[in-house]
Amino acid sequence: MSTFAPTNPDTGTDPYALKARRLGIDTYQEFVVYLRADSHVCKSEGFESLSRVELHWDDKHLVATLNVVTVDGFDALAPDEAGLSETAWRAFGGRDGDAVRLAHPAPVGSFAHVRAKIFGHAFADEALREIIADIREGHYSTVEMAAFLTACAGNRMNADETVALTRAMVAEGARLHWLQRQVVDKHCVGGVPGNRTTLILVPIVAALGLTIPKTSSRAITSPSGTADTMETLAPVSLDAAAMRKVVEAEGGCIVWGGGVNLSPVDDILIRVERPLDLDGEAQMVASVISKKVAAGSTHALIDIPIGPTAKIRSEIAGHTLAARLIEVGRTLGLEVDVILTDGSHPVGRGIGPALEARDVLAVLRNEAQAPADLRERALLLAGRLLEHAGHAAAGHGAALARTVLDDGRAWRKFGAIAHAQGGLREPAIAHRRHVIVAETAGTVARIDNRRLARIAKLAGAPRAPGAGVDLFAPAGARVSVGQPLYAVHAESPGELAYALDYARSQNNVLEIAPE
């Protein structure tokens, strides 16, 4: 550490003292400190933009990236103030005007391991523990995290390194423990709109007596995450104690993972990884397995949808990923089963929180208009999980699941879980809607998942939970001219207009092949 504590002979005061100031700037994960270029600290320490600086208060500190503020434009910051970005402000936990000091930080020691990896050396277990701990404590800048992720991508992580990375990520967060000998879980690698099988699978297996403490994510770039969809039906922001009560009472839950702090470094890295679109296999494996292990699961079913606009685009890539998931899971005491599914088109009809919830309710309530593909997909997955956990003989899981769904036990269990989480509610779909119709006749040959998702987002999903897309013409459907293809739902006329403007500017969101 290069800190030292001088006294300014001119003034007798600590020349490095500044007043903390919340600026309200969201720099996402990175801690950023804003200093005026004419502040005495900036001048005497030779700090410049993109410098890493150490912010000290009481006996605590954090490392941040510096943005220097020139005096001519930005007059909200005084020369004796240190402006803090939102994450830095939360880590600081103080009040406006509290005294802080700035210093040059020691280099992040664990980054030497990243450099060694770049030069071809495998990570030792201890190296990955140090790196992940430093990332959790905010010692890595986004630039350093990008270098770490790049060094791990391109199949440069062997099985041992992937195991060590996963262990390190588990260690840096909370960990749930259950009295039950067997705890099951389910995860979908993602990329398929409307694929809300979790909300059907959880009550089926819980109704059969299995323990399934399911944590799910909110949307980051999609129109809805499982937690967003569930939230239109029941509260999901439960802490670990509240979640435990639900699971102990009902055998299962569907809550937001952010409330229980499982593998938090995964959430940090994913936001740097996503814009790079690197899909590093080791990161993907560590992400999935660390969440499941931290949740205390013993058996997990991983659904890998394969399709040109899904996350995994080929069967070979799917099988390679599956092998690594099973291998790493087993080493950490998690029995993993993997199923490759069709990810080429949306599942169900709704895209957006409330629209997806409506489909889920229709399936659970055995309504006639329930989307058959969502129902069958959920039964397939529930069946596989029942077989994987030893609750059904091979080939008999889906039939068992179907019985529980058909006789209403799944629906009753869902209601009980929702009640335990704070109360079941009906999803409110936005009434303002516009229907897009077919301009040519033929068969729906291809559906572009990504553009359909974008229309739903422009319409307001997931921020506006009632907004989204309602798909009437699934892949393979025959349509005539003027027949409805999909409806766009929005909560304001402006948002409806934006979404429709975009929809009309795109050809072939649904590709119709002439007969």
Residues 272-301 that bind a second copy (CB under 8 A): 272, 275-278
Ranges of H-type helices in 233-295? 240-250, 264-276, 281-294
Is 142 one of the binding residues for a second copy (CB under 8 A)? Answer: yes
Is 43 one of the binding residues for a second copy (CB under 8 A)? Answer: yes
Q: How far apart are CA 508 and CA 500, in angstroms?
A: 14
Which tokens hold the place of 399?
Answer: 């039939």
Pick from 457, 465, 473, 486 the residue near a second copy by CB under 8 A. Answer: 457
Pick from 146, 159, 428, 475 the residue near a second copy by CB under 8 A. Answer: 146
Pick from 14, 80, 109, 118 the residue near a second copy by CB under 8 A. Answer: 118
**Residues between 46 and 75 that touch a second copy (CB under 8 A):** 46, 48-50, 52, 67-75
**Residues between 97 and 116 that touch a second copy (CB under 8 A):** 107, 111, 115
Pick from 17, 175, 342, 498 the residue near a second copy by CB under 8 A. Answer: 498
**Residues between 166 and 205 that touch a second copy (CB under 8 A):** none
The strand order across the sheet containing 442-447 reads 478-479, 442-447, 510-513
The size of the interface with a second copy (CB under 8 A), counted in residues, is 76
Pick from 14, 44, 90, 122 the residue near a second copy by CB under 8 A. Answer: 44
Is 433 one of the binding residues for a second copy (CB under 8 A)? Answer: no
**Residues between 237 and 276 that touch a second copy (CB under 8 A):** 271-272, 275-276
Which 3 state secondary structure label does DSSP give 382? helix
**Catalytic site residue from 279, 303, 373, 501:** 279
Instruction: Fill in the per-residue mask, 395 to 424: x = in contact with a second copy (CB under 8 A), - = not in contact.
Output: ------------------------------
Pick from 99, 124, 133, 147 the residue near a second copy by CB under 8 A. Answer: 147
Amino acid at 133: A
Handedness of CA 230, 231, 235, 237 (dihedral sign): positive
Of 223 and 307, the one with the shorter C-beta distance to a second copy is 223
CB of 228 to a second copy, least distance (A): 13
CB of 184 to a second copy, least distance (A): 33
Which 3 state secondary structure label does DSSP give 21? strand
Strands in 327-475 per DSSP E:
335-342, 350-351, 432-437, 442-447, 468-471
Q: Are strands 252-256 and 212-216 parallel, antiparallel or unpaired?
A: parallel
Which tokens hold the place of 227?
Answer: 């937690």
Q: Are strands 17-22 and 99-103 parallel, antiparallel or unpaired?
A: antiparallel
Of 140 and 414, the one with the shorter C-beta distance to a second copy is 140
Q: How far apart are CA 416 and CA 421, in angstroms?
A: 9
DSSP string, 203-215: HHHHHTT--EEEE
Is 13 one of the binding residues for a second copy (CB under 8 A)? Answer: no
Is 153 one of the binding residues for a second copy (CB under 8 A)? Answer: yes
CB of 374 to a second copy, least distance (A): 25
Handedness of CA 384, 389, 395, 397 (dihedral sign): negative
Is 144 one of the binding residues for a second copy (CB under 8 A)? Answer: yes
Is 378 one of the binding residues for a second copy (CB under 8 A)? Answer: no
Pick from 14, 26, 239, 426 the residue near a second copy by CB under 8 A. Answer: 26
First to last CA, the chain: 73
CB of 81 to a second copy, least distance (A): 12
Is 323 one of the binding residues for a second copy (CB under 8 A)? Answer: no
Is 122 one of the binding residues for a second copy (CB under 8 A)? Answer: no
Of 20 and 336, the one with the shorter C-beta distance to a second copy is 20
CB of 12 to a second copy, least distance (A): 11
CB of 63 to a second copy, least distance (A): 12
Give Cβ neighbours of residue 120 (< 8 Å, ≥ 6 apart).
Answer: none
Of 111 and 472, the one with the shorter C-beta distance to a second copy is 111
Which tokens hold the place of 498?
Answer: 């934006």
Pick from 12, 493, 507, 514 the residue near a second copy by CB under 8 A. Answer: 493
Q: Is 279 a catalytic residue?
A: yes
Give Cβ neighbours of residue 293 (< 8 Å, ≥ 6 apart).
Answer: 166, 170, 175, 329, 332, 333, 334
Radius of gyration of the chain (CA): 26
Is 149 one of the binding residues for a second copy (CB under 8 A)? Answer: yes
Q: How far is CA 61 from CA 64, 92, 106, in A?
A: 10, 8, 12
Contact predicate 502/455, CB 8 Å: yes
Of 151 and 355, the one with the shorter C-beta distance to a second copy is 151
Q: How far apart are CA 110 and CA 145, in angstroms?
A: 12
CB atoms within 10 A of CB 313: 15
Which residues are known catalytic residues?
A: 279
